[in-house]
A and B are shown apart, each in its own frame.
Chain A
Amino acid sequence: MIAPDTLAYTNRLVKTHPAEKCLLAASMLCLNLATPAVMPVCCMIFCFMCCLTIFKARIPAVVYAKLLLTPLFFLCVGAGTVMIDLSADHFAFISISSQGLHTAIIIVCRGLGAVSCLLFLCLTTPVADITWLLAKLRVPGLLIELLDLTYRCIFILADSAATITTAQASRLGYATMNATNRSLGTLSAACIIRSFVNARLMQQAFDSRCGEGPMRVMHTPCPISKKNIIAVMMASIIIAACSFIG
């Protein structure tokens, strides 16, 4: 499966200004969480964001569906628990109340709507663009640097974790239950030690390139398109109106 991160850099909306995409995702998310007419509006938002991601940004539908599976699983577990009523004074010990069913549907709808907004943002906007936008929004530099470095280090750490796991497996590190436990233990220890070593080496490279204080990098953003902003506003207004009608 293609890593979602790669898609963020290669999708058709990558050249769209990050502010437009964030605005759309944020306003849809707010509407999704605030609307009183949960069923119709959240479904609308879900479909809208889904279509936008798949048809406009050209994210492969299969990948999208796979990415949707994980949150969907958790949503179903959560909804299932809410739905089931455990009580002794009913005729059956386990029952489903209509109240519970209603809550469960609301949870799933709101949840799916929110997930579609986040997936849209994650799959169309590279992290570098998001950090740039955060900087423009005057978010403290320290937080942005942390975000940027964490993001970069995830890949380095994932790489070394993968290498270590392979090395362990090739020496039968996962052959038995006991060995698996031991291997997982050493793996996490090794990852922590590596993180410290990497942190030191990165600091050296940072100092060596005269890094001091905030991490400055160049960014060449594309211009904001008025058309897109208006489209985002229109979509939000239409959905907000539906909330009231519905």
Chain B
Amino acid sequence: MSRPYIIEAQNVSYTYPDGTTALSTVSTGIKQGEKIAVLGENGAGKTTLFLHFNGILRPASGTILFNDKTVLYDRRSLRELRSKIQIVFQDPDTQLFSARVYQDISFGALNLGLPQDEVKRRVDAALLTVDIEHLRDKVTHSLSHGEKKRVAIAGALVMNPEVLIIDEPTACVDPRHQQNLLDLFDKLNSKGTTILLSTHDVELAWQWADRLIVMHKGTIAREGDPYTIFSNEHLTQKTGLCKPLALEVFDALRQQTSIPSDAAPPRNKQTLLAMLNKKL
């Protein structure tokens, strides 16, 4: 892991104006090409951390580094930061402020000052990537929640971000659309976009992420690869995470049957089933 961090938080603390301390001395970072899930209960500080990553919030103490340089909060630096790091917010309704889908998606690209043809090209590409070409002429407020979510993602993609941060992408989304979204994130990631998402769904984190950051009460409780994190009973208990089902079954199997100790733990239902079929 010698790659440098794209964006890094060093000892960041933040207190909201009403006195709630949402982050206390948080240090963590994101590297090029990663698939990271930030896990934590409601109110753990996930959203607050994300808002620091693209300069919406400014740390009370500590620093945010972008490509190893301290983030400055003047207009030009923020613009550069935000053109590389895009957030898709939890509630798509507050993110889509134009009346029509096409208009809303073009918003960010026009703000970058790109020429019209380039904007058009990017909007079309984003519509295609997110698979919502059929929605291009629709009115924003008539869309379903899942569709709004996709439009919001397309609106972020037109900026061609290096890092796409998605806050609670699967909240209020049914299982099939959840899977579609995860597939979309994988597709984006395979094209080189770094993906950071927050969730409180351990199954999703276990199935999807390469690396986990576990947040608890405004601090980073632990970060690391999913297997190590979920095998740490003390940690999962303290932070209120339960073990993913596939891992739980795998551990139980390992104690009773002779699964080789170097066998990789199953990341999803299919692998677990295949493993069971082989054993029983």
Contacts and interface: CB of A to CB of B under 8 A. Distances in A.
A40 B134 CA distance: 47
B255 to A, nearest CB: 48
Given A152-B141, A202-B94, A218-B103, A210 B89 contact: no
B139 A204 contact: no
Contacts of A127: 99
Interface string A66-78: 0000000000000
A219 B136 CA distance: 12
Nearest to B89: A205
Given A208-B54, A210-B82, A156 B107 contact: no
A217 interface: yes
Kindly name the residue among B99, B106, B116, B123 whose own CB sees the greatest number of chain A CB atoms within 10 A. B99
A218 B120 contact: yes
Interface residues of B, dominant DSSP: helix
Per DSSP, chain A at the interface is helix
Given A9-B139, A208-B54, A217 B79 contact: no
A208 B141 contact: no
A217 B110 contact: yes
Contact of B82 (A152, A208, A215): A208
Nearest to B82: A210
A209 B120 CA distance: 17
Interface in A133-154: 148-149, 151-152
A208 B99 contact: no
Contacts of A216: 107, 110-111
A49 to B, nearest CB: 24
A230 interface: no
Nearest to B106: A218
5 contacts: A6-B139, A155-B141, A205-B87, A209-B159, A215-B107
Given A128-B99, A216-B107, A217-B103, 16 more contacts: A126-B99, A126-B139, A128-B103, A148-B97, A149-B97, A152-B97, A198-B93, A198-B94, A206-B97, A207-B78, A209-B82, A210-B111, A210-B159, A215-B97, A216-B110, A218-B119
Interface of A: 5-6, 9, 126-128, 131, 148-149, 151-152, 155-156, 159, 198, 201-202, 204-212, 215-220
